[in-house]
């Protein structure tokens, strides 16, 4: 399947759901959808477009909104699903039921952006330490962290 065929087919399947559909480069397709459509569209991509392989999920802080990109790869193309939701209501559905391998990426997004991933099977922290304070999300653009004074047991300071 060539890029143009995939784009045409996606247009037919998604219809109105695809808010934006671009093909900026060879084998690179960007689709924008609304957050509620996420799980159905991922299921469609997996079943019809051979996109069972989720490369990763990128989160971008755009000021007032968060943009999440789900990078899927099929043997012929790289389909990037984009979804955007307001910072005031940071929640998104988990896609682990459809793609079990997504769990680590979703855990990372949860702690890095403070987005609640609903329905994630394992919501624990992934990379940040256990004593990391609540409400600190390092990859948000406005994040400024002042490290608390470290107390060494038995030490002088």
Partner 1 sequence: MSFQIPIGPQHPALKEPISLRMTVEGEVITDVDMRLGYNHRGMEKLAEEKSWLQNIYVTERICGICSHSHATCYVQGVEKLMELAPPRRGLYIRYLVAELERVHSHLLWLGVAGHEAGFDSFFMYTWRDREIVMDLLEMISGNRVHYAINTLGGVRRDIDEGQKAKILEGVATLRKRSEYYFYIGANEPSFVARIAGVGYLSKESAIALCAVGPVARASGVARDVRKDDPCAVYGELDFEVATADTCDVLGRVVVRVKELLESYKLIEQMVKGLPAGDIAVKAPRKAKPGEVVSRYEAPRGENIHYIKANGTDKPERLKVRAPTLANYPATVEMLRKGFIADIPLIFAAIDPCICCAERTVTLVAAGSGEESVVRMSDLRRQALARHQNAPVKRNAVWPL
21 binds partner 1 (CB under 8 A): no
The gap between the terminal CA atoms of the chain, to the nearest Å, is 65
For the chain, what percentages of helix, strand and coil (3-state, to nearest 5) are there? 25, 30, 45
Site for partner 1 in 99-118 (CB under 8 A): 99-105
Pairing of strands 65-73, 20-25: unpaired
Q: Least Å distance between CB 41 and partner 1?
A: 17
Residue 87 CA from chain centroid, whole number: 14
Residue 6 vs 103, nearer CB to partner 1: 103
Does 56 bind partner 1 (CB under 8 A)? Our answer is yes
**How far apart are alpha carbons 42 and 17 in whole angstroms?**
13
Is 154 a binding residue for partner 1 by CB under 8 A? The answer is no
Helices and strands counted in the chain (H then E): 3, 7
**What tokens does 137 get?**
């999300």
Least Å distance, CB 140 to partner 1, is 10
| Residue placing its CB nearer to partner 1 in the complex, 36 or 56 | 56
Q: Any contact of residue 152 with partner 1 (CB under 8 A)? A: yes
Positions in the binding site for partner 1 (CB under 8 A): 24-25, 27-28, 30, 52-56, 58-61, 69, 71, 73, 75-76, 78, 80, 99-105, 125-129, 138-139, 147-152, 155, 157
């Amino acid at each position: 399947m060539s890029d143009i065929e995939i784009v045409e087919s996606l247009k037919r399947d998604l219809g109105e759901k695809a808010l934006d559909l671009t093909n900026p480069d060879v084998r690179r397709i960007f689709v924008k959808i609304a957050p509620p459509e996420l799980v159905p569209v991922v299921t469609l991509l997996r079943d019809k477009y051979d996109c069972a392989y989720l490369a990763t999920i990128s989160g971008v802080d755009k000021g007032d909104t968060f943009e999440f990109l789900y990078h899927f790869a099929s043997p012929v193309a790289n389909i990037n699903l984009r979804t955007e939701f307001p910072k005031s209501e940071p929640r998104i559905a988990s896609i682990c039921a459809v793609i079990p391998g997504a769990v680590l990426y979703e855990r990372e997004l949860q702690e890095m952006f403070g987005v609640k991933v609903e329905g994630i099977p394992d919501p624990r922290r992934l990379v940040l330490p256990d004593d990391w304070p609540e409400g600190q999300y390092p990859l948000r653009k406005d994040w400024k962290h002042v490290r608390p004074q470290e107390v060494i047991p038995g030490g002088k300071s």
